[in-house]
Amino acid sequence: MSAVPKGDYEGIRNEVRKILKKPGYDDGSIGPVLVRLAWHASGTYSAKDKNGGSNGAGMRFAPESDDGANAGLEFARQFLDPIAEANPWISRADLWTLAGVTAVEAMGGPVVPWKPGRTDFQSAKHASEYRGNIADRLPDAAQGAQHIRDIFYRMGFNDQEIVALSGAHNLGRCHRDRSGFEGPWVVNPTRFSNQYFRLLTTRKWTPKKWDGPLQYETVVAGKELMMLPTDLALIEDDKFRPYVEQYAKDQKLFFKDFAAAFGKLIDLGINRDANGLASVGGCPFAGAARSNL
C-alpha cells in the first residue's frame, strides 16, 4: 500500500479501489464485505443511550469483535490494515466507513455523503467505558418486521429508510460458517442495483429444504438465490411493502434514498468540534495516536 499525504481522503479512496478485486474471495471482490464492515461498525448506535456507532472503531476489541453478527468481518478489517499501516494519520473509524462508501460507488452504486473526523478508542478499557453494553444491537436475520423496527427505530430511522438500507443486500452473500445462512441474494452480488427489490416482488420464494436455519430460495438463470426471514418481512408488512415496490420500479429513487440513509447511518452519534474532530467518550483521540492502541 502507498502512503498518501495527510488529509488526502481521495488518495485513501484510490488505495481502497486498488484492493477491491480479490480473485478467490467470494465472488471476486471484497467490496461487499467492506460495505458490511461500515454498516456493522455504525449499526450499534442508540439514540436513547447516546452510544455505539462508528466513532471509536470499537470492533477492534472484544466483546464487539466477538459478536456473532460480526462473524467474518475480521477479514474486512485485515484487508484494510495495510492501508491503515501506511497511513497512520487516518483513524480506523474513518477508514472503515470511507472504504464502505467507496466500495458502494465502485460497484456501480450512488455517491454516499461522507465526512472525516472520527477518532479511535485508545484501548479495550476505553471502548468498554464509553460504549457500555451494546450486545444484541445488530439485526437478527431470523426475525420479522417488529424486530427490524426495534433495531432501526433505536437508531432513529423510519420505515422508508429501513427499506432503503435493506437494499444493501444487493451486495454480497451469506456464509454458513459465519451466519448459518448460505448464498447470494441476487445474480450479480458485486454490482449495486435495485435487483434485490425486483426479485422480492416478482419471484416466488419457497422455504429451502436443508438442515440449516429457515431461509427462502428461488432460481434465476440457473443460479440459486436466497432471501432471509427479515427480507421476506419487507413484502409481508403493509407499511414496508410500498417502499419495496417503489424501489423495484425506480432504481434512481432507490439510489437517492440509499445514499441519504447510508450517509446518515455511518454518521450517527458523531459530534464534531470546530475542527471537525469527533470525540470518543468525551476525549478526542486523533488517528495519529494509533501507535498506542
Torsion over CA: 246, 247, 252, 255 (sign): positive
List the catalytic residue out of 39, 96, 114, 185.
185
102 and 126 share one domain? yes
Q: CB count, 10 Å around CB of 161?
A: 20
Residue 220 banded pLDDT, cuts 50, 70, 90: very high
The catalytically annotated residue of 39, 40, 114, 126 is 40
Q: How many structural domains are present in the chain?
A: 2
Say if residue 17's pLDDT is above 90: yes
Predicted confidence (pLDDT) per residue in 113-129, tens digit = 999 999 999 899 988 88
Quickly tell me which residue has 467490496 as its cell. 31
Q: Confirm whether 18 is domain-assigned.
A: yes
Q: What CATH number does the domain containing 97 carry?
A: 1.10.520.10
DSSP, collapsed to helix, strand or coil, labels residue 51 as strand
Strand ranges (E), 158-290: 173-174, 183-184, 206-207, 216-220, 223-227
Summarize the confidence of residues 168-191 as an average pLDDT: 96
pLDDT, average across residues 273-282: 69
- Please name which of 212, 252, 266 lies closest in space to residue 42, comparing C-alpha atoms: 266
Structure confidence at residue 275 as a pLDDT band (50, 70, 90): confident
pLDDT band at 289 (very low <50, low <70, confident <90, very high): very low
Domain of 216, CATH number, reads: 1.10.420.10
Domain carrying residue 27: 9-139+259-267
C-alpha cell read off for 130:
464509553
> In angstroms, rounded to a whole number, what is the distance separating the alpha carbons of residues 47 and 205?
35
Instruction: Assess whether 124 and 221 both reside in one domain.
Output: no
Question: In b/e form, how buried is each residue of 112-145, taking b as 16+ CB within 10 angstroms?
Answer: bebbbbbbbbbebebbbebbeebeebbbbbeeeb
* 185 tagged catalytic: yes
